[in-house]
Amino acid sequence: MRLRKGLSSLIFGKKEGFEMVKILDKKVAEVKARELYNLLFDTTRAIWNMNFETDLEEILDVLSIEKVEGELSGEMKKAFEALGRDDVSGFLMKENETYTIFVNMNEPIYRQRFTIAHEIGHFILKHLEGEEISISFRDEHSKTGSDPKEVAANSFASELLMPREIVEHLFMMSGSVSSVAKEMGVSAMSAEFRLRKLGLIS
Ligand SMILES: [Zn+2]
């Protein structure tokens, strides 16, 4: 019950009536990611159980988002190639109110996880309002990018995958960026970016 109430206020806003405005602010995106994390998990318990990876399957389940892992092939591949892209990491698609995240299974696991978290971001931040599909390309995660939706989805993903307390704990224990990355199931670059943002490294 608490979960359902929490989720609906997270997705639809706290007031009566739905707020269907796209969220483009990085800071708000981070707050939303942390709200989502807190609804389902607990950093103290995660640290105690040494469960450092955010359980994305659980989040997809609760949000009723389907996940499809696959390779780009056939018509899909042709369609993307026609757009001049063969570097699709994944996308979020809406079809009759059903949401599906496609993940390119040929990419490393940590990148697949970032893609999923990024697409969950587009969902929670309502970036698909008035659109049917949002596509992530491989280069998008590493560059700062200029599209505010992409920047916000990346901030969301970073916050969702790397809650502050867990990052602090792991870094305090190991003092190593790569160890934080490995334990949390993210790339070394994402971990480094996060540690810098939290002021743990300069
Ligand atoms: Zn995106």
Q: Encode pLDDT of 48-74 as tens digits.
A: 999 999 999 999 999 999 998 888 778
User: Would you say residue 73 lies in a domain?
Assistant: yes
State the distance from the centre of ligand 1 to the C-alpha of 166, rounded, in angstroms.
25
Number of domains, the chain: 1
- pLDDT above 80: residue 5: no
In DSSP terms, 98 is beta-bridged to 95
User: Which pairs from 180-189 meet CB under 8 Å and 24+ separation?
Assistant: 181/110, 183/52, 183/53, 184/52, 184/53, 184/54, 185/52, 185/53, 185/54, 185/109, 185/110, 185/113, 185/161, 186/110, 186/113, 186/114, 186/161, 186/162, 187/108, 187/110, 187/111, 187/114, 189/142
State the distance from the centre of ligand 1 to the C-alpha of 88, rounded, in angstroms.
10
Residue 113 domain boundaries: 19-197
Q: Encode pLDDT of 29-54 as tens digits.
A: 999 999 999 999 999 999 999 999 99
User: Would you say residue 7 lies in a domain?
Assistant: no
User: Would you say residue 12 lies in a domain?
Assistant: no
User: Would you say residue 4 lies in a domain?
Assistant: no
**What does pTM read for this prediction?**
0.89
Quote the pLDDT of residue 89: 87
User: Would you say residue 5 lies in a domain?
Assistant: no
State the distance from the centre of ligand 1 to the C-alpha of 149, rounded, in angstroms.
7
User: Would you say residue 1 lies in a domain?
Assistant: no
User: Would you say residue 3 lies in a domain?
Assistant: no
State the distance from the centre of ligand 1 to the C-alpha of 134, rounded, in angstroms.
6
Ion ligand 1: residue ranges with CB closer than 5 A? 136, 150, 153
State the distance from the centre of ligand 1 to the C-alpha of 120, rounded, in angstroms.
10
